[in-house]
């Protein structure tokens, strides 16, 4: 296939950026991917930001498009339902499907990102550049503004595809000139990771489930890891984190509200003190595509539509954006303007819908799953 001569820049070497680079490279398009961090395969993950993703059929279909589905599944743990841990009662298992067969997959985000990075780098035509922070885009001049070890520079770009996450610098840059409605809604809740290590060399909880401790306005969840530990994530009002200022207060709080889990967390106070509190944001912006005389720029993944994580669909949605852009490029014979215009029209209603479902599911997970009425209704649905 003849190579496309336009300079295509992908901003962000996260899940979406790496998948899109691979898809475009396979299409014969030369791509440069700019990532602000150093190579994560050398630098290692940040403390308290391990995040394991629940990857569903949508995400797996996208990974299949670059031949990574089986590799991802080999490193995944299937979870066939929720294990709910009510306070003062025994845990109960709620299967995800009536036949008990369907599962979502617990996959390490860092590991998946590295597999996608490997795939991007191995694709002819793809160049990955680390420690390159994009600070803006000038679509009139067709320029990308960057800060790297060599200082501030500009580089030519005819097509800019921004997968630089929820706090996207490209989105900020496009919004600063007007013509882009950029709304970010933060929950009063934040999140913090903790760990349940293996017990006597085995999982301390059932690894076939996504564990939930619903506590009304707050909750904790836990997903299994391949090393037989669990990554727990607290979703609490930010003021609740601040209220627990000493190790003794942390211990006492967990023994009262999460007693079965507290017993399994020897490093609880240390993790709580040192792991950061992350924010939970929904991004609603429009349009996602900006046409200039020199370049066209488009937002994708969390940069276009970050959602709260309670439906486990952010990464799945980001992957679907990439597959859709690639598909539409094929359909339009490589016409970037038409492909990106169709991409935003088709994807926006879907991502708006999932953003609302994700917010609704927070109430379901932290509150409704433990109600006896809810359990009876679900059991009847599955009978
Ligand atoms: P990101 O993964 O955020 O990647 C952005 C990349 O851009 C990063 O590599 C970053 O370093 C780089 N970057 C940022 N700024 C710049 C810049 N200026 N210049 C250059 N590079 C830059 N999703 C699911 O599907 N299932 C789940 O179970 C799930 N659980 C989650 C749990 C939590 C606690 C959180 C916070 C999120 C969860 N998600 C989940 C959401 C998922 O992590 C995101 O939707 C997904 O990572 C989005 O991919 P992305 O590539 O768009 O952005």
Residue 46 pLDDT exceeds 80 = no
* Rounded average pLDDT over 128-154: 97
Ligand 1 mean position, distance from CA 37 (Å): 13
What confidence tier does 171 reach under pLDDT thresholds 50, 70, 90? Answer: very high
* Rounded average pLDDT over 94-100: 90
Atom of ligand 1 nearest to the CA of 302: 52
* Rounded average pLDDT over 237-261: 96
Cβ of residue 34 lying under 6 Å from some atom of ligand 1: yes
Residue 323 pLDDT exceeds 90 = yes
Show the tokens assigned to 138.
Answer: 């000038």
Q: Within the chain, where are the H helices?
A: 15-26, 40-43, 57-64, 69-74, 109-121, 169-176, 238-243, 247-257, 259-262, 268-274, 302-305, 314-331, 336-366, 372-382
Query: How wide is the angle at C-alpha 109 spanned by C-alphas 281 and 124, nearest 5°?
Result: 110
What confidence tier does 383 reach under pLDDT thresholds 50, 70, 90? Answer: very low
58 close to 316: Cβ distance less than 8 angstroms: yes
From 338, 326, 334, select the one nearest 64 (Cα to Cα): 326
- Of all helices (H) and strands (E), which one includes residue 83? strand 81-84
pLDDT value of residue 363: 84
What confidence tier does 44 reach under pLDDT thresholds 50, 70, 90? Answer: confident
What confidence tier does 378 reach under pLDDT thresholds 50, 70, 90? Answer: low
CA distances from 143 to 29, 111, 151, 285 (A): 19, 32, 16, 22
Cβ of residue 35 lying under 6 Å from some atom of ligand 1: yes
* Residue from 35, 165, 232 to probe ligand 1 pocket by mutation (most atoms less than 8 Å from CB): 165
Sheet holding 143-148, edge to edge: 133-138, 143-148, 151-156
> What is the per-residue pLDDT across 282-317, written as a single tens digit (0 to 9) for each?
999 999 999 999 999 999 999 999 999 998 899 999
> What is the per-residue pLDDT across 98-128, written as a single tens digit (0 to 9) for each?
998 899 999 999 999 999 999 999 999 999 9
* Residue from 157, 314, 361, 365 to probe ligand 1 pocket by mutation (most atoms less than 8 Å from CB): 314
What confidence tier does 376 reach under pLDDT thresholds 50, 70, 90? Answer: low
Cβ of residue 51 lying under 6 Å from some atom of ligand 1: yes
Cβ of residue 321 lying under 6 Å from some atom of ligand 1: no
Cβ of residue 17 lying under 6 Å from some atom of ligand 1: yes
CA distances from 152 to 38, 74, 132, 149 (A): 17, 42, 10, 9
Query: How wide is the angle at C-alpha 12 spanned by C-alphas 303 and 31, nearest 5°?
Result: 120
pLDDT value of residue 365: 82
297 close to 320: Cβ distance less than 8 angstroms: no
Domain boundaries, the chain: 4-77+107-185+281-363
Quote the ipTM score: 0.98
Q: Which CATH number fits domain 4-77+107-185+281-363: 3.50.50.60, 3.40.50.300, 3.40.50.1000, 3.40.50.150?
A: 3.50.50.60
Cβ of residue 12 lying under 6 Å from some atom of ligand 1: yes
* Residue from 41, 49, 51 to probe ligand 1 pocket by mutation (most atoms less than 8 Å from CB): 51
Q: Give the whole-angstrom CA distance, residue 227 versus residue 231.
A: 11
Atom of ligand 1 nearest to the CA of 307: 45
Q: What percent of the chain has pLDDT over 90?
A: 84
18 close to 116: Cβ distance less than 8 angstroms: yes
> Which residue is listed with tokens 């990464």?
315
Show the tokens assigned to 29.
Answer: 């398009």
Cβ of residue 207 lying under 6 Å from some atom of ligand 1: no
> What is the per-residue pLDDT across 258-271, written as a single tens digit (0 to 9) for each?
999 999 999 999 99
């Amino acid at each position: 296939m003849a190579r496309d001569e336009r300079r295509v820049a992908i901003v962000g070497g996260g899940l979406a950026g790496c998948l899109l680079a691979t898809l475009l490279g396979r299409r014969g398009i030369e791509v440069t991917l700019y990532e602000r961090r150093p190579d994560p395969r050398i630098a290692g993950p940040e403390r308290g930001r391990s995040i394991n993703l629940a990857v569903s059929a949508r995400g797996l279909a996208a990974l299949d498009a670059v031949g990574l589905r089986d590799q991802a599944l080999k490193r995944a743990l299937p979870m066939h339902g929720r294990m709910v841990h009510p306070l003062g009662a025994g845990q109960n298992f709620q299967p995800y499907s009536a036949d008990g067969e369907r599962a979502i997959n617990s996959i390490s985000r860092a590991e998946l990102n590295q597999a996608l990075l490997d795939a991007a780098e191995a694709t002819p035509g793809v160049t990955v550049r680390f420690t390159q922070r994009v600070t803006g885009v000038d679509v009139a001049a067709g320029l990308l503004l960057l800060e790297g070890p060599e200082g501030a520079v500009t580089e030519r770009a005819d097509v800019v595809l921004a997968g630089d996450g929820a706090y996207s610098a490209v989105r900020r840059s496009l919004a600063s000139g007007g013509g882009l409605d950029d709304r970010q809604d933060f929950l009063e809740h934040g999140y913090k990771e903790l760990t349940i290590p293996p017990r006597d060399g085995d999982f301390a909880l059932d690894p076939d489930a996504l564990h939930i401790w619903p506590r009304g306005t707050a909750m904790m969840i836990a997903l299994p890891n391949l090393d037989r530990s669990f990554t727990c994530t607290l979703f609490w009002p930010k003021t609740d984190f601040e209220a627990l200022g000493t190790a003794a207060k942390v211990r006492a709080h967990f023994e009262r509200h999460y007693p079965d889990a507290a017993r399994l967390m020897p490093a609880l106070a240390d993790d709580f003190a040192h792991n950061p509190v992350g924010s939970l944001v929904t991004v609603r912006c429009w349009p996602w595509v900006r046409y200039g005389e020199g370049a066209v720029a488009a937002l994708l993944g969390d940069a276009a539509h970050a959602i709260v994580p309670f439906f486990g669909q952010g990464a799945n949605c980001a992957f679907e954006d990439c597959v859709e852009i690639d598909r539409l490029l094929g359909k339009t014979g490589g016409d970037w303007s038409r492909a990106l215009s169709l991409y935003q029209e088709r994807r926006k209603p879907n991502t708006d819908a999932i953003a609302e479902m994700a917010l609704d599911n927070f109430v379901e997970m932290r509150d409704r799953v433990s109600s006896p009425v809810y359990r009876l209704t679900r059991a009847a649905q599955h009978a």
